[in-house]
Structure 1
Amino acid sequence: MTAQPAPAPAPQPAIRCTDVRLQRGDTVVLDGLDLHVQAGRVHALLGRNGAGKSTTFRLLLGLMQPDSGTIDVLGQPPASGTKNRAALERIGASIDGPAIYTHLSAFDNLLVHARLTGVGRARIEEVLDIVGLASTGRKRARHFSMGMKARLALGIAILTEPDVLILDEPQNGLDPQGIAELRQLLRDYAAAGRTVLVSSHQLGEIVQLADDISVLADGVCRYEGPLADFAAPGRLEEEFLKLTMLSATQQEAA
């Protein structure tokens, strides 16, 4: 009898949260969150306002600490404090709106981050071209449109070519062309074996962007897995509302 080869081990998630709990005052923000995000795929974190999406992003970046549970990003717990700078070279993020220096040009905004991470001028110019800001010259960011600021925030996030991208509502302010360009960029980024985690309320765009989704409600993940397994074509909004409204109704009844 010929011995059968052992099955290949399942790939370890690039991002993993296990039984993560966080309470602020009397409010339970996360109540045993489990989250698994695989490399090479675009993963969307969905939920109604207050579901815990932004808090989850802050925990992944080491900006907050959970009360209990474990978090791993690229096999390590999120760095915090003085250790955070080196760790964030492998993680690009844009959360809580564009964090930019409004008195500086797009180039100089990127230059600030480049000097902190050792990135050269050629990469800055490449990123400006990628995000569509190469022609802005010395125009200060305070005069940028909302869409231009969103493009600059994305440029800062991808400057170091990080292994993980974490983006909160990256489509905000972009026109239809910008949204299509962002979609292609993120899908190409994931196709190169990197990890992309986004949040968005634009469910129509998520249908075109995401491979996997997690649906948060009441501080826990109510669904995690392939988007195609959650909702048939054209029914994401219906299934999302059904799941999150049912969760809210159950909470009120309790």
Structure 2
Amino acid sequence: MKREIRNTVLALATSGLVVVGSAACSSQEVIDAVTSSDSGLSGASDWTGEDALMGQLEYLAPGEFVIDGQAFFVSEETLYLGGLNVCPAEDGIDDVGFGVVECDLESFETAAQGETPVHAKAEAELGENDEIIAVSITEYDGETPNDSGATDAPGSAPAPEDGAADEASELVSGELEYISPGEYMIDGTAFYVAEDTVIHAGLYACAGGVQDPDTGDVICDFDRFDATLANGTAITAEVEIVDGVALSITEY
């Protein structure tokens, strides 16, 4: 039995939703019941991986949650960010409603089993056995992301509309704070990274990268830059922002 199905069966059996035993139904019938559309849980084959999972976080089993009917696992590398109901703190969420306090699995599991609903965004990827593994779980204000249009996955934020380049850009500088993949904060301003964001680095991010022969700049790949920030490396940068999306990030 696959790990995700086995854990789901165990969780449902524990909760009394499925009775496993000779007097009830066969193992295959249990699997069919859990993975059927009527069960309300989606398997990995139903997940496209194109969008982040967003909605109320529900506890399924140790190390496994459900968001909007989609079950997923966590790993030792999963990043947890709270600040509201999970690991609450003053100024625990950014100006668009996402948690910025580094948290842990135990706190998220406890909160997800509590009476207060926990809303979260899970960035995920497929594991070696086609299991859905969360790269990060970020708590958010249940209302703010919908009102602000922040339901798009970080790293795939909408590009500025036509003519946005003509809008006045905001230039901010200082130490970058990691919020979630493709979403950072600098000097109190949260912003997204788009596909066309130009990242110049070479000091801590993309150290030793190939310099442009004309400008001397090192163009840094987003994945490497994001991973460096996620690992806790302090990076100071100058960021040009238009409509909440970075046009350029220049490490200094």
Q: TM over 0.5, yes or no? A: no
* Higher RCO by CA contacts (8 Å cutoff, separation 6 or greater): 1
The structure in which a higher percent of residues are strand is 2
TM-score, with length taken from structure 1: 0.25
TM-score, with length taken from structure 2: 0.25
